């Protein structure tokens, strides 16, 4: 968040729009389909990853080893080749041609070359158009990713890289030319990866099984890991997108088709891209400490944003994060009896410490999840107070998703605010980082019960952010 700025009133239209659709039309018997599905598919629970009976990939890979990274990498390449062998003829009318060269290397080992340069110290996985090759670092990158997020992180990254090989084949069918901005190519590749994952989730893969709960959570977490640093401009020649933007494209592919991915252009993606440089007046690079002053600013921001609901505003009180007489969800709890949000400031301050992205990438202690993670947790408990005020259920199956949606709507309102608290570059990704934590409060109901699918939780916040509060009650009644 960005502190400071003149304390002018928030534009009334923003405050009004934020609660316009929030009506009391829900009861505990509401049919909550949103909470029990991932884009129409059931929420499933099983160990995701390489199938025990997966075939041995028949691929020619330079410098291949027998280690786990190479096992997952080769299975992924063989699998995405299966997938594209169907999709390219069916959707685009062209025959699939495998990539010319596959290379496994160790960024911390002997140098290997491909047409795009040396592999030494290149902690990466990439497609090189000059020799139509896909390469991956089995020395550092892949083992790190497997250690942090499991093998599906490798599948996510390589399915994305293979998407670039597909663009190379589609060319004008995907609107790709020499001057296509990087961000468009990246959004298409994330979208292709999302559609491939749909195919796997539907049980069509010979190599992998992916559940819609932990399995897809791992895929989204790995997209989060490879996001651009906060403050990158979307027009940067190397821009790949924020986690918010990347997950949007992945989810689009999951919900639609490769044709929809290929149709993405700068004009269609630009209005929703959230990647932007830091405001020049933002001396803290988007991070404020979570202390009494920040909580006061948060209270004012929430009061403003939800004023249109015309219900008593919950008070945020530093009373330890627990309710004296009702279920508690520390470090922040909504207490209906007193219409207060009880917070444990110390725990929230630790959660809100800035993210050390390099440490995070290396699987080390990366500090906290950023200020907006902590503020969003508190905002979610406040939103429950507003929901209660308008008579919505705080415990029905969709209550958690409705709450995440309202947090998204609030985040959008703060981005337009001239108040003390404003959304800064990187904030939305901090909320996503929190949403993907198993213990996150943002998408949970008053008892802390949340939907198992991170996919659905992130989607709910994104819908609120991009569309305002209207869909929060219509889609998550």
Judged on CB neighbours under 10 Å (0-12, 13-18, 19+), 259 is middle
Kindly state the smallest distance separating residue 381's Cβ from Zn ion, in Å.
Answer: 38
CA distances from 250 to 14, 192, 255, 258, 270 (A): 29, 7, 9, 11, 16
> How big is the CA angle at 25 (ends 21 and 29), to the nearest 5 degrees?
135
Cα–Cα distance measured from residue 403 to residue 335, given in angstroms and rounded to the nearest whole number? 15
Kindly state the smallest distance separating residue 189's Cβ from Zn ion, in Å.
Answer: 5
From residue 191 to residue 220, the character string flagging contacts with Zn ion as x (rule: CB under 5 A) and all else as - is: ------------------------------
CB closer to Zn ion out of 183 and 345 = 183
Kindly state the smallest distance separating residue 186's Cβ from Zn ion, in Å.
Answer: 5
Cα–Cα distance measured from residue 321 to residue 318, given in angstroms and rounded to the nearest whole number? 7
CB closer to Zn ion out of 186 and 344 = 186
CB closer to Zn ion out of 99 and 189 = 189
Judged on CB neighbours under 10 Å (0-12, 13-18, 19+), 32 is buried
Stretch that binds Zn ion, among 50-58, 108-116, 188-196, 367-375 (CB under 5 A): 188-196
Kindly state the smallest distance separating residue 109's Cβ from Zn ion, in Å.
Answer: 24
First to last CA, the chain: 30
If one asks whether residue 158 binds Zn ion (CB under 5 A), the answer comes out as no
Kindly state the smallest distance separating residue 356's Cβ from Zn ion, in Å.
Answer: 24
CB-CB neighbours of 33 under 10 Å: 12
Helix axes 371-389, 292-305, angle to 10 degrees: 40
Kindly state the smallest distance separating residue 183's Cβ from Zn ion, in Å.
Answer: 10
If one asks whether residue 125 binds Zn ion (CB under 5 A), the answer comes out as no
HEC string of 310-343 equals CCCCCEEECCCCCCCCCCCCCCEEEECCCCEEEE
CB closer to Zn ion out of 174 and 316 = 174
Stretch that binds Zn ion, among 56-64, 181-189, 301-309, 393-401 (CB under 5 A): 181-189
CB closer to Zn ion out of 187 and 274 = 187
Kindly state the smallest distance separating residue 476's Cβ from Zn ion, in Å.
Answer: 33
From residue 264 to residue 293, the character string flagging contacts with Zn ion as x (rule: CB under 5 A) and all else as - is: ------------------------------
Stretch that binds Zn ion, among 180-188, 213-221, 231-239, 444-452 (CB under 5 A): 180-188
The count of residues interacting with Zn ion (CB under 5 A) is 2
Kindly state the smallest distance separating residue 426's Cβ from Zn ion, in Å.
Answer: 20
Q: Are strands 41-42 and 117-118 parallel, antiparallel or unpaired?
A: unpaired
Reference 36, options 448, 387, 398; nearest CA is 398
| CA dihedral angle for residue 121, residue 167, residue 90, residue 92, rounded to 10 degrees | -170
CB closer to Zn ion out of 87 and 164 = 164
Give the HSE-up count for residue 287: Cα atoms under 13 Å, Cβ half-sphere. Answer: 19
If one asks whether residue 189 binds Zn ion (CB under 5 A), the answer comes out as yes
CB closer to Zn ion out of 197 and 278 = 197
Stretch that binds Zn ion, among 37-45, 183-191, 299-307, 429-437 (CB under 5 A): 183-191
- What is the three-class DSSP state of 76? helix
Kindly state the smallest distance separating residue 164's Cβ from Zn ion, in Å.
Answer: 6
Residues that bind Zn ion (CB under 5 A): 186, 189
């Amino acid at each position: 968040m960005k502190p400071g700025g003149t304390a002018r009133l928030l534009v009334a239209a923003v405050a009004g729009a934020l609660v316009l659709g929030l009506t009391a039309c829900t009861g505990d018997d509401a049919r909550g389909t949103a909470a029990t599905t991932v884009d129409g598919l059931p929420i499933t629970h099983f160990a995701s990853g390489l199938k025990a009976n997966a075939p041995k990939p028949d691929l020619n890979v330079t410098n291949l080893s027998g280690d786990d990274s190479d096992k997952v990498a080769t299975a992924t390449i063989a699998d995405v080749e299966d997938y594209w062998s169907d999709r390219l003829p069916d959707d685009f009318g062209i025959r699939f041609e495998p990539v010319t060269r596959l290379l496994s290397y160790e960024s911390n080992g002997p140098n290997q070359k491909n047409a795009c340069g040396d592999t030494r110290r290149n902690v990466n996985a990439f497609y090189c158009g000059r020799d139509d090759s896909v390469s991956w670092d089995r020395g550092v990158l892949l083992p790190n990713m497997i250690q942090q997020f499991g093998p599906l992180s490798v599948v996510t990254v390589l399915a994305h890289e293979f998407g670039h090989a597909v663009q190379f084949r589609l060319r004008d069918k995907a609107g790709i030319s020499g001057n296509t901005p990087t961000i468009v190519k990246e959004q298409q590749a994330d979208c292709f990866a999302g559609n491939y994952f749909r195919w796997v989730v539907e049980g069509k893969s010979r190599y992998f099984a992916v559940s819609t709960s932990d399995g897809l959570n791992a895929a989204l977490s790995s997209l989060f890991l490879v996001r651009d640093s906060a403050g990158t401009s979307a027009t940067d020649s190397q821009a790949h997108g924020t986690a918010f933007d990347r997950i949007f494209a992945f989810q689009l592919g999951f919900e639609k088709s490769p044709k929809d991915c290929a149709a993405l252009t700068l004009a269609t993606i630009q209005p929703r891209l959230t990647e932007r440089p830091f405001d020049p007046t933002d001396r803290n690079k988007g991070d404020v400490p979570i202390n009494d002053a920040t909580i006061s600013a948060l209270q004012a921001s929430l009061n403003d944003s939800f004023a249109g609901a015309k219900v008593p505003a919950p008070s945020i009180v530093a009373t330890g994060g627990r309710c004296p007489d009702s279920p508690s969800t520390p470090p922040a709890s909504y207490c209906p009896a007193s219409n207060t949000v009880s917070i444990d400031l110390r725990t929230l301050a630790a959660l809100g410490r800035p993210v050390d992205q390099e440490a995070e990438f290396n699987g080390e202690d990366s500090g906290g999840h950023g200020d907006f993670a902590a503020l969003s947790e508190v905002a979610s408990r406040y939103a429950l107070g507003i929901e209660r005020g308008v008579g919505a259920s705080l415990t029905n199956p969709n209550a958690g998703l409705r709450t995440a949606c309202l947090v998204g709507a609030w985040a959008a309102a703060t981005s337009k605010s001239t108040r003390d608290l404003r959304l800064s570059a990187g904030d939305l990704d901090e909320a996503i980082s929190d949403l993907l934590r198993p213990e996150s409060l943002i998408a949970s109901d008053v008892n802390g019960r949340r939907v198992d699918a991170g996919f659905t939780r992130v989607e709910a916040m994104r819908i609120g952010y991009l569309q305002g509060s209207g869909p929060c009650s219509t889609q998550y009644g």
